[in-house]
């Protein structure tokens, strides 16, 4: 999450302009293979270097990019899009002119907002080059490991190491030696330098709005700052700012003055000059301060100095970064959390959030937690033992749902037509929980039919329990399937594989529907499996089955491992390697019996009759293959 990368900054001249583009790369050794450049749509040079012929196309592309989040733009699996600016840059290592493109996968907020593209040795650059027919030059020898076509062209990017080729004076050098040599030459020509980049960026931790935690900071004049006790000052250096043209120094409120609460204000809107609404809270804003203790008063006192409160407030992260700790001890007015309660409950075992969560809230929460650990507030350095990033449900057009795109699905409409359980179940059935999945309104019909089938399995036409539900036992095949379903659904729930759990339950209910006499216990076990994903129908069916308490308190069914053992196995019959039939045979069927069963099969007989059998092959428990000519 800190993202430390060692590499080089390289400067490219833009042909026909006084402008230059600087890029950061961890692979300066591949500079000879740079065949194009890409800049972010927000890059300040876009309007300057774009040619008249390309201006309309570039402007349209830039406008479209504004509607996408950084996460969407950086998604590796997304379709590659881009527009040529009409401009070219000069590769500083060999003087070649290469085209400059605008593409949204380059972010202005990371690095320099520009990249040099080496398609032969970068997966994303390779896909982009193939999409737009750009030149691909291999400059790292692959030793025969790279996938190539009959003509020797790369079929995919080679990202491994090797000796340099097609690289001028660096040809024959290994990558590490070439990196140092290229950086040295660029530095001598004032066109590059070795550097270190971090993904970690400065965090703007203030907002000009009313709602938010107020900062326990006061601003005093320079002369009054000299009178303030050192315990109220910044440790490293004075923190200053200009307020209404006067240089002010920051001091910190002592713990005795906390909590600092927001004042009652007449308006929550910012002031006309854009300042926080708190800038208009006069009685709260202007205070008198004891320079020795930091105590404050609304009235003047002897020896006290005047100060102005900080009017910015903290962002929502100030509360959301540690809420999981406060849930454990919400009414503690003496400490953030009681150490004994923290020891008892511990940190969250599993945190589920969206991928966008991962680059914002979860990053900040971990940072915040590390600070609390260093301060001794918590005993565990890590806040979450396991993270799971759920995917996004896309619109039917495959794009992220957005009012501006008109592809938003209203859940209330779906619930009115199919019910909340069908909606919940379908969202889980769309695919793996971590994947991005397009919504399909027609697809929910299948899930709704499944729930109706479950209802009919339990409830008769008159609203009472189905007549075939009672005492008794299941046949061996249905019993095996039920216990296999209990095992699989239990395992799938633990790994959040809800889509495959639902598929298994669909198979099971189809089998149960064929049984003439259903044991009540079997039906109850199935309803318990379904209830976490379809709680409303689960509770209703539990009630119809004669229970008074909630199904959520009824425990969880357990499978019997001995019931999973199969007495028979499906054997495939082949003639000359092609499928010609199958049969359920005993698990321990002998080779002779399996071959005899195959020869007795009518379809197999049709393909071997009148022919000479040259070979009979049996793969135990799987295949019989008869070679006949």
Residues 431 and 447 in one domain: yes
Query: Is residue 58 assigned to a domain?
Result: yes
Rounded Cα–Cα distance for residues 125 and 119 (Å):
4
pTM over 0.85: no
Looking at residue 369, its pLDDT comes to: 95
Query: Is residue 406 assigned to a domain?
Result: no
Looking at residue 160, its pLDDT comes to: 87
Q: What are the E-state strand segments in 226-314? A: 240-243, 246-252, 286-289, 296-297, 305-309
Residues 170 and 88 in one domain: yes
Looking at residue 235, its pLDDT comes to: 84
Domain containing 538 — which CATH number?
A: 1.10.730.10
Rounded Cα–Cα distance for residues 177 and 174 (Å):
6
Residues 147 and 96 in one domain: yes
CB 122 within 8 A of CB 159: yes
Query: Is residue 531 assigned to a domain?
Result: yes
Rounded Cα–Cα distance for residues 525 and 519 (Å):
10
* Tally of domains in the chain: 5
Residues 87 and 171 in one domain: yes
Q: Which of 324, 358, 389 is the last residue of a domain?
A: 389
Query: Is residue 318 assigned to a domain?
Result: no
Q: Which of 168, 197, 226 is the last residue of a domain?
A: 197
Looking at residue 189, its pLDDT comes to: 96
Looking at residue 356, its pLDDT comes to: 67
Query: Is residue 394 assigned to a domain?
Result: no
Query: Is residue 210 assigned to a domain?
Result: no
Residues 26 and 168 in one domain: yes
Looking at residue 77, its pLDDT comes to: 60
Phi and psi at 350, nearest 5°, equal -145, 130
Residues 56 and 165 in one domain: yes
Residues 242 and 189 in one domain: no
Structure token digits, residue 199: 């993904």
Domain containing 45 — which CATH number?
A: 3.90.740.10
Looking at residue 435, its pLDDT comes to: 87
Residues 55 and 186 in one domain: yes
Residues 249 and 296 in one domain: yes
Residues 415 and 457 in one domain: yes
Rounded Cα–Cα distance for residues 528 and 551 (Å):
7
Q: Which of 562, 593, 608 is the last residue of a domain?
A: 562
Q: Which region, left, alpha or beta, applies to residue 589 given φ > 0 means left and ψ of -120 to 50 means alpha? A: beta
Q: Which region, left, alpha or beta, applies to residue 239 given φ > 0 means left and ψ of -120 to 50 means alpha? A: beta
Domain containing 623 — which CATH number?
A: 3.10.20.590
> Range of 350's domain?
332-389
Query: Is residue 295 assigned to a domain?
Result: yes
Q: What residues in the chain have per-residue pLDDT under 70?
A: 1, 76-78, 355-356, 358-359
Residues 291 and 432 in one domain: no
Residues 89 and 184 in one domain: yes
Query: Is residue 287 assigned to a domain?
Result: yes
């Amino acid at each position: 999450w800190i993202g430390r990368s060692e590499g080089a900054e390289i400067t490219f001249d833009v042909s026909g302009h006084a402008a230059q583009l600087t890029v950061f790369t961890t692979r300066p050794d591949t500079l000879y293979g740079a065949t194009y450049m890409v800049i972010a749509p927000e890059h300040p040079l876009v309007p300057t270097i774009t040619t008249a012929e390309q201006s309309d196309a570039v402007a349209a592309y830039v406008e479209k990019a504004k509607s996408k989040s950084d996460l969407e733009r950086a998604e590796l699996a997304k379709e590659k899009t881009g527009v040529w600016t009409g401009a070219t840059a000069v590769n500083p290592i060999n003087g070649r002119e290469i085209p400059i493109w605008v593409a949204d996968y380059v972010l202005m907020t990371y690095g320099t907002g520009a990249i040099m593209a080496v398609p032969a040795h970068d997966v994303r650059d390779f896909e982009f080059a193939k999409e737009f027919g750009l030149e691909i030059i291999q400059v790292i020898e692959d030793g025969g490991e790279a996938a190539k076509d009959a003509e020797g062209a790369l079929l995919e990017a080679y990202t491994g190491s090797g000796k340099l080729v097609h690289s001028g004076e660096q040809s024959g050098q290994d990558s590490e030696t070439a990196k140092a040599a290229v950086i040295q030459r660029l530095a001598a020509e004032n066109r590059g330098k070795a550097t270190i980049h971090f993904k970690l960026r400065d965090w703007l931790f203030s907002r000009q709005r009313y709602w938010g935690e107020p900062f326990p900071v006061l601003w005093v004049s320079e002369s009054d700052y000299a009178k303030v006790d050192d315990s109220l000052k910044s440790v490293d250096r004075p923190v200053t700012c200009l307020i209404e043209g006067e240089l002010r120094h920051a001091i910190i409120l002592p713990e005795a003055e906390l909590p600092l609460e927001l004042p009652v204000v007449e308006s929550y809107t910012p002031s006309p000059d854009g300042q926080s609404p708190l800038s208009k809270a006069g009685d709260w804003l202007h205070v008198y301060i004891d320079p020795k203790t930091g105590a404050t008063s609304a009235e003047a006192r002897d020896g006290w100095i005047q100060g102005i409160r900080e009017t910015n407030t903290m962002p929502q992260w100030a509360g959301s970064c540690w809420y999981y700790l406060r849930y454990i001890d919400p009414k503690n007015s003496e400490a953030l959390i009681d150490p004994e309660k923290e020891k008892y409950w511990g940190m969250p075992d599993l945190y589920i959030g969206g991928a966008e969560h991962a680059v914002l809230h979860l990053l900040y929460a971990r940072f915040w937690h590390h600070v609390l650990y260093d301060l001794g507030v918590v005993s565990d350095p890590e806040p979450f033992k396991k993270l799971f990033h759920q995917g996004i449900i896309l619109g039917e057009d495959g794009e992220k749902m957005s009012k501006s795109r008109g592809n938003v699905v209203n859940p209330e409409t779906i619930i009115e037509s199919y019910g909340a359980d069908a909606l919940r179940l379908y969202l889980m059935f769309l695919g793996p929980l971590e994947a991005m999945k397009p919504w399909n309104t027609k697809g929910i019909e299948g899930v709704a039919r499944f729930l109706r089938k479950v209802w009919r399995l339990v409830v008769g036409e008159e609203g009472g329990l189905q007549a075939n539900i009672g005492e008794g036992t299941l046949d061996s095949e249905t019993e095996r399937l039920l216990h296999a379903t209990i095992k699989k659904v239990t395992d799938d729930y633990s790994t959040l594989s809800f889509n495959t759990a639902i598929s298994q339950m669909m198979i099971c209910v189809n089998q149960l529907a064929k049984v003439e006499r259903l044991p009540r216990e079997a039906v109850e076990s199935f309803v318990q499996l379904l209830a976490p994903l379809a709680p409303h129908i689960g509770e209703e069916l539990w009630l119809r089955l004669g229970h008074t308490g909630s199904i959520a308190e009824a425990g969880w069914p357990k499978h019997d491992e001995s019931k999973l053992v199969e007495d028979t196995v499906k054997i495939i019959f082949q003639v000359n390697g092609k499928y010609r039939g199958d049969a359920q045979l005993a698990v321990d069927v002998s080779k002779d019996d399996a071959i005899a069963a195959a020869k007795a099969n009518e379809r197999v007989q049709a393909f071997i009759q009148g022919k000479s059998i040259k070979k009979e092959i049996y793969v135990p428990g799987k295949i019989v293959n008869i070679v006949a000519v």
